[in-house]
Amino acid sequence: MDKKQKLRSSEWFGGNDKMGFVHRSWLRNQGYPDDYFEGKPVIGICNTWSELTPCNGHLRDFAEVVKRGVLEAGGFPLEFPVMSLGETIMKPTTMLFRNLASMDTEESIRANPLDGIVLLTGCDKTTPSTIMGACSVDLPTIVVPGGPMLSGRFRGEKIGSGSMNWMIKERQEIGGYTTKDIREAEVCVARSIGHCNTMGTASTMATMCEALGLTLPGFSSIPAVDSRKKLHAQLSGRRIVEMVKEDLTLSKILTREAFENAIITNAAVGGSTNLIIHLIAIAGRIGVQLNLEDFDQVGSKVPLLVNLKPSGTYLMEDFFYAGGLPVVMKELRPLLHQRAITVNGKKISDNYDDVTCYERDVIATLDKPFQEKAGIAVLKGNLCENGAVIKPSAATPRLMHHRGEAVVFESMEDYHERIDDPNLEIDENSVIVLKGVGPKGYPGMPEVGNVDLPKKLLAKGITDLVRISDGRMSGTAAGTVILHVSPESTIGGTLALVKNGDMIELNVANRTLHLDVELEELIKRKKEWVAPEPLAKRGYVKMYIDHVEQADKGADLDFLVGGSGSKVERDLH
């Protein structure tokens, strides 16, 4: 650290006046000695541990490991909690609270005497929310991802946590699963600490962190139970102290080139469509211009190199044994911005020299990929003027160009009430249209876009239909599912005007999604359309509905875009 560099924490601890006394004195009840307040970088360990967030249930232990590293490097670690978001527990959706958790993170960092930050993350929204909050303060920051669970094992079958969710109805209706079978599978699918073991959103966001340069190389692929996870956590504790001395802030790492690297990497691993909304929101906080179209222009032609569920066969544990993300990053070198700086202070091109692939059936080469042009496709058309997205690697090829009649559900309640009605007019050529599940409409834009098919179609062996909504889809799910339709139906987007029997044409190759209804008829329907009443009249949810931006803008709150920096002008006395 430059001798002229003044630690931010010294504004709290450096004075020998009344306020210096106040700030130091109450921390003394923890037994800290004098030298902790005399020039040691104070490292905030932002912990998303919660017993209500199963994926993050081990992060309390990880915090202690990180502290060891901080102490070894001469830092002063102080752990603090922030709102945790349990994907599998919270109603109506954790996405509703991502922005609230980001506010918690941002203000906790800014208000306290912290020089550097370690983010302990895991479950889907805990990663983007904490990064968003940290970006708005812009201190040196490193991410410690909690890691995936071990592979699920059930009666000789390897099953993926998360992906199994979307198979339950089919297994019950066709496979004859009993209640006893379900209960047994519940335990077998989630048999260790950690987050989902597929390339779902949690693994995608961890991968994104490494591709952005926010984690130590190789960290994102390691299973939660592997001792190397704690090793990397301890090394991260050491490294953040050095980052403070180097003044290596988030804005120096999160450049436009870093975001493009993340888009390219996401395509190569078959990552979640949720990355789009989170990456745009993070870019908005750090001041990098990133648009929905960038995901198509930068990433859509990238080949699929990883054979993982839901786009492939294997699970995250297999990915790690095959060499993990380092192998992918080495393969992607010709496509990446190689001079992008990472948290270890090195260029991303220098981090993956000494890596080996141990299983080419799991990780392919760039010249012999599992699938060509597998990245996210961004659709435009009169049904989605501001865009919609589809994940080609998880879709059914024959449905990528499809024309069919709309079967419309006005809400999730309408869907649940009618989807298994034997008299529902629906067949293998139909297009399911689900309304009212966008950012404002649900509210919170839940992961319901990949709705289950009717029992009568499952009984015929039909396992996929084109499905369209203004909602999201779990990264663990597959199917020909069009998501993030913008503008959403609740604010009067064209999706709100679709009726049963309307013809819809999807053409992924041409990037179009078209509602085959005359403009005059759409104008007439729009005049007759009545906006639904907001679902909240008070509290955070009302604030969310009033201020949330549309999916193509990252669904952040409009007044949170950008940052306030780390300076706090006024003291508490």
* pLDDT mean over 208-217: 98
Q: Is the model's pLDDT at 377 over the cut of 90?
A: yes
Q: How far apart are CA 227 and CA 225, in angstroms?
A: 6
Residue 1 pLDDT more than 60?
no
Q: Which long-range contacts (CB under 8 A, 24 or more apart) does 13-17 make?
A: 13/37, 13/38, 13/42, 13/113
- The torsion defined by the Cα of 374, 375, 381 and 384, in degrees rounded to 10, comes to 130
Confidence of residue 166 (pLDDT cuts 50, 70, 90): low
**8 Å CB contact between 58 and 146:** yes
Residue-wise over 407-425: b if at least 16 C-beta within 10 A, else e? bbbebbeebeeebeeeeee
Listed in sequence order, the DSSP H helices in 310-438 are 316-322, 324-331, 412-418
| pLDDT score, position 478 | 86
- Residue whose entry in the numeric block shows the structure tokens 């990552």: 271
Residue 101 has pLDDT above 90, yes or no: yes
d(CA 480, CA 100): 31
Distance CA 83, CA 99 (A): 11
Alpha-carbon distances of 335 from 261, 283, 328, 339, 469, rounded to whole Å: 8, 21, 11, 12, 32
Angle at 207 between CA 80 and CA 322, to 5 degrees: 125
Over residues 212-223, the mean pLDDT reads 97
Quick check: 428 pLDDT over 90?
yes
- For residue range 112-128, list pLDDT tens digits in order: 999 999 999 999 999 99
Buried b (16+ CB within 10 A) or exposed e, 67-103: bebbbebebbbbbeebbbbbbbebebbbbbbbbbbbb
In the 8-state DSSP scheme, what is residue 303? P
Identify which of 13-17, 103-107, 459-463 has the greatest average pLDDT: 103-107
Give the model's pLDDT for residue 291: 97
What's the mean pLDDT when you consider all of the chain? 95
Q: CA 392, 286, 210 angle in degrees (round to 5)?
A: 50
Q: How far apart are CA 83 and CA 253, in angstroms?
A: 25
- The arithmetic mean of pLDDT across residues 508-535, rounded, is 96
Q: Is the pLDDT of residue 163 over 70?
A: no
pLDDT confidence of residue 164: 67
Average pLDDT (401-429) is: 97
Q: CA 187, CA 185: separation in Å to the nearest integer?
A: 5
pLDDT tens-digit series, residues 227-276: 999 999 999 999 999 999 999 999 999 999 999 999 999 999 999 999 99
pLDDT tens string 296-312:
999 999 999 999 988 88
Q: What percent of the chain has pLDDT over 70?
A: 98
Radius of gyration of the chain from its Cα atoms, rounded to whole angstroms: 24
Angle between helices 274-286 and 201-212 (to 10 degrees): 40
316-368 pLDDT, tens digit per residue, is 999 999 999 999 999 999 999 999 999 999 999 999 999 999 999 999 999 99
Q: How far apart are CA 8 and CA 14, in angstroms?
A: 10
Band of residue 3 on the pLDDT scale cut at 50, 70, 90: low
Backbone angles phi, psi at 507, to 5 degrees: -135, 95
pLDDT value, residue 2: 60
pLDDT of residue 180: 85
Given a cut of 80, whether residue 292 has pLDDT beyond it is yes
The whole-model pTM stands at 0.96
- Ranking 130-134, 227-231, 369-373, 475-479 by mean pLDDT, the lowest is 475-479
What sign does the dihedral 290-295-297-301 (CA atoms) show?
positive
What is residue 162's predicted lDDT score, i.e. its pLDDT? 66
**Summary count for the chain: helices (H), strands (E):** 19, 14
Instruction: Give pLDDT, residue 165.
Output: 64
Residue 167's pLDDT is 66
Spatial distance between the Cα atoms of 450 and 471, rounded to a whole number of angstroms: 9
